[in-house]
Amino acid sequence: MNDPTTPQSVPRPTPRRTTRRSALRTLALAGVLAGTSLSTLNPTAVAADGAPETYALTIRHLDRAGTATSGYRTNITGISGPGADASAAPYDESGTVTVRLPKGRYLLDSTLQGADPAAGTDWVVQPRLDLDRDTAVTVDARTTAPVNVRPQETGARYLHSLAFVEATHEGTTRSANIMMASDGLRVAHLGPAAESGSVKEWIDTYWSGERADYALGYTFTSDRALTGLVRNPAPAALATVKVRAANPSGATGTGFVDIQPSAGPTVGLSQSLAPLATATFLVTPERGRWDVGYAGPAAPETPPNRYSENGFAVRAGATTTHTFDNAVFGPALDPAPGARPAGLRTGDTLALDIPLLADGEGHAPSAPRFHAATTTLHRDGVLIGTRNGAPGRAEFTTTPGRAAYKLTATATHGSGPTAGGRVTASWTFTSAAASRPAELPLSTVRFAPALALDGTAPAGTLVRVPVTVGGAADRTGIRSLAVSMSTDGGTTWTKVPVIDGQAGFRTPGAGGTVSLRAELTDTAGNTLTQTQPNAFRTR
């Protein structure tokens, strides 16, 4: 066995983004500018106050029979030129409408709906409308072609879809979208081609199958909008994403899981997910990276505890599994570039901001469940202050001179089978006031045993618990790392070896608990003592 005080290939934590968007992302067009009748304005006149010259834009709307229709909704959004900030949603029951707008490049999109909703909807997009004279355009439903993006599973049920277009000109991007609650969308490009690569479009459709749900999305970059789209991917062309809902505390009720592509606005897929259950999704790798989220069952008078895993890659034929709300709960740092530091010294202020109760995969909860949380700061052995409140979040005022500090954060958590859980992280470091904010040299250690969804491990077996180091020690290096375990709630401790980044030991008998402790020193001499009594149970 290796010396337990010497780090042995301790792995670094996987980068994790902590931002999260809702399953139904906000999709908004620019404000509507009311159209003005031709009889009241000269199409080539310049206002006396120097306002931009305006032109008449006449739009004729035709249905699938080629006749004028009143069943339309048209939006015109300025992109560049004097009309860059203009927008309009003109309407006339006759099917022909005229609006006056300043000179410029515009994005036009029009939705046409026939008398029979079951016949579907037509969406016509003109990403390049250059208004430099009186102009007439015809929106013709007969030019559209079907959007047929569906799985090959017979009987899969359509849920909803979104088509989204972005048009860019002279550094400005404008967008249009259509959301569909029923199948039967047809789309078409209108007008001249725009500049190469200036039009980006994606279409996402969501389906419910017998054993899995489907999130199918495709993106295109071109000089024009799509005219129809057919994609019926085979199962082998899709990636599998599984979301598991753990429940170590024995909570009752039902949670929710959602999934959506990471890039661009979309309408995601959300469904209920009971604790100890697994949701399975089949997704398209062509849509890029994906986001999933899980909201656990809400306790009385408390908000649901939400977790997320954002921006993960998928691969056709491969399965990615994310487990939420399982032990071992403990501190987690976000190592992604630009992430908010866990500790910061600004002048005489020391601030701590670290998720102290992240779940076993390192997902930080939006509303951590805890009974009490305390943070204390000592300067050269003298207590500076004590803060109560959210776990791992506190702020203190100290004095400018260089001094040795001890910062300790504790949170108690758990109920039912996990009652008595506690996390304590105690850091020592030196610090002094500086001319600019300085990150505090804080580290964390994460334990990630393979546990069942009820937070238990088999009794009386030899387990290998992955150990990962994050924060300052991950960046500057580890001088020593010792891991200990306890089977009596932390009364007595036994050091265990860490080999190839894993702590090995035998679990106690059925119904027992395992407590974990890490003692870490980085190469700069900063230390961490992290204790997690009753980290997980045995069965």
The answer to whether 30 and 87 have CB atoms below 8 angstroms apart is yes
pLDDT at 305: 83
pLDDT at 19: 38
- Residue 244 resides in a domain: yes
Judged against a pLDDT cut of 50, whether residue 31 lies above it is answered with no
Average of per-residue pLDDT across 215-229: 98
- Residue 118 resides in a domain: yes
Q: Looking at the structure, do residues 219 and 309 belong to the same domain, yes or no?
A: no
The answer to whether 240 and 271 have CB atoms below 8 angstroms apart is no
Lowest mean pLDDT among 24-33, 65-74, 177-186, 402-411: 24-33
- 251 confidence band (pLDDT: 50, 70, 90): confident
Report the side by side order of strands in the sheet with 306-312.
269-273, 255-261, 290-295, 306-312
Average of per-residue pLDDT across 143-155: 97
Judged against a pLDDT cut of 70, whether residue 250 lies above it is answered with yes
- Residue 1 resides in a domain: no
Residue 147 has phi, psi (to 5 degrees) of -95, 110
Q: Looking at the structure, do residues 160 and 226 belong to the same domain, yes or no?
A: yes
Judged against a pLDDT cut of 70, whether residue 304 lies above it is answered with yes
Q: What is the sign of the dihedral through the CA atoms of 369, 242, 363 and 470?
A: positive
- Residue 297 resides in a domain: yes
pLDDT at 74: 98
Judged against a pLDDT cut of 50, whether residue 2 lies above it is answered with no
Q: Looking at the structure, do residues 259 and 227 belong to the same domain, yes or no?
A: no
Q: What is the pLDDT of residues 182-208, one digit of tens each?
A: 999 999 999 999 999 999 999 999 999
- Residue 260 resides in a domain: yes
Half-sphere exposure of 168 (CA within 13 A, CB side): 9
pLDDT at 49: 54
Q: Which of 295, 324, 353 is the last residue of a domain?
A: 324
Percentage of the chain modeled with pLDDT above 90: 81
Judged against a pLDDT cut of 70, whether residue 41 lies above it is answered with no
CA distance 168 to 324: 39
- 50 confidence band (pLDDT: 50, 70, 90): low
The two tokens of residue 14 are 């996987």
Q: Looking at the structure, do residues 184 and 242 belong to the same domain, yes or no?
A: no
Q: Looking at the structure, do residues 52 and 187 belong to the same domain, yes or no?
A: yes
- Residue 64 resides in a domain: yes
- 225 confidence band (pLDDT: 50, 70, 90): very high
Q: Which domain holds residue 58?
A: 38-207+215-231
Average of per-residue pLDDT across 76-96: 98
**CATH number, domain with residue 175:** 2.60.40.1120
Average of per-residue pLDDT across 43-55: 59
Q: Looking at the structure, do residues 226 and 240 belong to the same domain, yes or no?
A: no
- Residue 429 resides in a domain: no
Q: Looking at the structure, do residues 166 and 303 belong to the same domain, yes or no?
A: no
Place of tokens 């249905």: 63
Q: What is the pLDDT of residues 397-453, one digit of tens each?
A: 999 999 999 999 999 997 777 777 899 999 999 999 988 999 999 999 999 999 999
Judged against a pLDDT cut of 70, whether residue 131 lies above it is answered with yes
- Where would I find the beta strands (DSSP E) of 367-453? 372-379, 382-388, 393-397, 403-413, 421-431, 438-439, 443-447
Q: Looking at the structure, do residues 222 and 288 belong to the same domain, yes or no?
A: no
Q: Which of 324, 357, 386 is the last residue of a domain?
A: 324
Q: Looking at the structure, do residues 196 and 74 belong to the same domain, yes or no?
A: yes
Q: Looking at the structure, do residues 55 and 182 belong to the same domain, yes or no?
A: yes
Judged against a pLDDT cut of 60, whether residue 63 lies above it is answered with yes
Collapsing DSSP to helix, strand or coil, 380 comes out as: coil
Q: Looking at the structure, do residues 191 and 293 belong to the same domain, yes or no?
A: no
- Residue 284 resides in a domain: yes
Average of per-residue pLDDT across 465-493: 97
Q: Which of 231, 266, 298 is the last residue of a domain?
A: 231
CA distance 15 to 18: 10
Q: CB-based burial of residue 205 (10 Å sphere; 0-12 exposed, 13-18 middle, 19+ buried)?
A: buried
Judged against a pLDDT cut of 60, whether residue 37 lies above it is answered with no
- 165 confidence band (pLDDT: 50, 70, 90): very high
pLDDT at 7: 37
pLDDT at 521: 98
pLDDT at 367: 85
* Predicted structure pTM score: 0.86
Q: Average pLDDT over the chain, rounded to whole? A: 90
Domain count, the chain: 2
Q: Looking at the structure, do residues 124 and 95 belong to the same domain, yes or no?
A: yes
**CATH number, domain with residue 274:** 2.60.40
Q: What is the pLDDT of residues 349-384, one digit of tens each?
A: 999 999 999 999 999 998 888 999 999 999 999 999
Look at residues 292, 244, 287, 245 and name the one whose alpha carbon lies nearest to residue 268.
Answer: 292
Percentage of the chain modeled with pLDDT above 70: 90
pLDDT at 118: 85
